[in-house]
Amino acid sequence: MLFNSVFFITTFLPLALLGWYLLQQLNNPIYAKVFLVGMSLWFYGYYNPWYLCVLLLSLFGNYGCSVLFEKVREQKKRKMVLALGLFVNVGLLFYFKYFNFFIDNCNYFLHTDISIEKIALPLGISFFTFQQISFIIDRYQQTAPDYTFVDYVCFVTYFPQLIAGPIVLHSEFLPELSARKNRKVDWELFFDGVMLFILGLGKKVLLADMLAVVVNAEFANVAYLDGVSAWVTIICYMLELYFDFSGYCDMARGIGKMFGFHLPENFNSPLMATSVKDFWRRWHMTLSRFLTTYIYIPLGGNRQGKWKKCRNLLVVFLVSGLWHGANWTFVVWGLLHGAAMVWEALFPKLRFRQEALSRLCTGIYVTLTFAIFRSDSLAQAGQLFRQLFTGGNTGFFAGMCNTLQFPETYAVVKALEMVAPQLLNPFYMACMLLLLGIALWLVRGKRAEVWIEEKGRTWKGLTTVAILFIWAFVSLSQVSTFLYFNF
Asked if 163 and 124 touch (Cβ cutoff 8 Å), the reply is yes
pLDDT of residue 129: 93
pLDDT band at 14 (very low <50, low <70, confident <90, very high): very high
pLDDT of residue 265: 92
Mean pLDDT, residues 95-118 taken together: 85
> DSSP of 92-146, one letter per residue?
HHIIIIIHHHHHHHHHHHH------PPPP--TTHHHHHHHHHHHHHHHHTT-S--
- Nearest by Cα to 327 from 370, 377, 372: 377
pLDDT of residue 248: 92
Asked if 447 and 268 touch (Cβ cutoff 8 Å), the reply is yes
Residue 318 has pLDDT above 60, yes or no: yes
Asked if 174 and 149 touch (Cβ cutoff 8 Å), the reply is no
- Nearest by Cα to 81 from 95, 61, 58: 61
pLDDT of residue 480: 65
Helices within 227-267 (DSSP H only):
227-259
pLDDT of residue 201: 94
DSSP secondary structure letter of residue 303: S
Terminal CA-CA length for the chain = 16
What lies within 8 Å, CB to CB, of 210 at 6+ separation is 404, 406, 435
Residue 487 has pLDDT above 80, yes or no: no
DSSP secondary structure letter of residue 391: -
Q: Please, what is the average pLDDT of the chain?
A: 90
Per residue in 322-380, pLDDT tens? 999 889 999 999 999 999 999 999 888 888 888 889 999 999 999 999 999 999 999 99
DSSP secondary structure letter of residue 486: G
| pLDDT cut 70: percent of the chain above it | 97
Per residue in 224-270, pLDDT tens? 899 999 999 999 999 999 999 999 999 999 999 999 999 999 999 99
Residue 414 has pLDDT above 60, yes or no: yes
DSSP secondary structure letter of residue 184: S
Residue 182 has pLDDT above 70, yes or no: no
Per residue in 40-69, pLDDT tens? 999 999 888 888 999 999 999 999 999 999
Mean pLDDT, residues 447-473 taken together: 89
- Nearest by Cα to 193 from 6, 16, 413: 16
Give the span between the Cα atoms of 449 and 439, in whole angstroms.
18
pLDDT of residue 383: 94
Per residue in 144-170, pLDDT tens? 898 999 999 999 999 999 988 799 999
pLDDT of residue 261: 92
> DSSP of 24-80, one letter per residue?
TTSS-THHHHHHHHHHHHHHHTSS-TTHHHHHHHHHHHHHHHHHHHHH--SHHHHHH
Give the span between the Cα atoms of 206 and 212, in whole angstroms.
10
- Tell how many helices (H) and how many strands (E) occur in the chain: 24, 0
266 phi/psi in degrees, rounded to 5 = -120, -15
pLDDT of residue 232: 94
Residue 449 has pLDDT above 90, yes or no: no
Residue 254 or residue 112, greater confidence: 254
Mean pLDDT, residues 217-225 taken together: 90
Residue 24 has pLDDT above 60, yes or no: yes
Give the span between the Cα atoms of 383 and 346, in whole angstroms.
32
- Nearest by Cα to 474 from 3, 1, 4, 2: 4
pLDDT of residue 478: 63
Asked if 35 and 21 touch (Cβ cutoff 8 Å), the reply is no
Cα–Cα distance list, 47 to 38, 124, 280 (Å): 15, 13, 33
Give the span between the Cα atoms of 294 and 139, in whole angstroms.
13
Query: 175-193 burial, b if ≥16 CB within 10 A, otherwise e?
Result: eebeeeebbeeeeebbebb
Per residue in 378-393, pLDDT tens? 999 999 999 999 888 8
Residue 206: alpha-carbon gap to chain centroid: 18
pLDDT band at 27 (very low <50, low <70, confident <90, very high): confident
Q: Catalytic residues, which ones?
A: 324
